[in-house]
Amino acid sequence: DIQMTQSPSTLSASVGDRVTITCRASQSISSWLAWYEQKPGKVPKLLIYKASSLESGVPSRFSGSGSGTEFTLTISSLQPDDFATYYCQQYNSYSLTFGQGTKLEIK
């Protein structure tokens, strides 16, 4: 199985900050990676697919990069609505895997 490890597990930041979340795969997954945002009590929302493709309707302050085993989700200027938990998910292999999540908190 491919394991996905996100870092950090928790991130404290302020409105306006630029933040980066990292997701590492235990083996190469090419660019087959998605990112999701989940707010408390809400359904996960797709932000990015194929490592860097922005889902329709997602603000351009969100961007994704990486290939192989290391990937990043960047929020260029944090907005109050962005404080949430973020998950990566690989879809390279027969079985799919989510990361353990990164909680983005207000500093």
Out of 34, 73, 78, 104, which residue is the one contacting other proteins (CB under 8 A)? Answer: 34
Contacts of 76 (CB under 8 A, 6+ apart): 18, 61, 62, 63
Looking at this protein, which amino acid is placed at residue 45?
K
Smallest separation (angstroms) from other proteins to the CB of 50: 8
Out of 52, 58, 65, 101, which residue is the one contacting other proteins (CB under 8 A)? Answer: 101
**Interface contacts to other proteins, rule CB under 8 A:** 1, 32, 34, 36, 38, 43-46, 49, 55, 87, 89, 91, 94-101
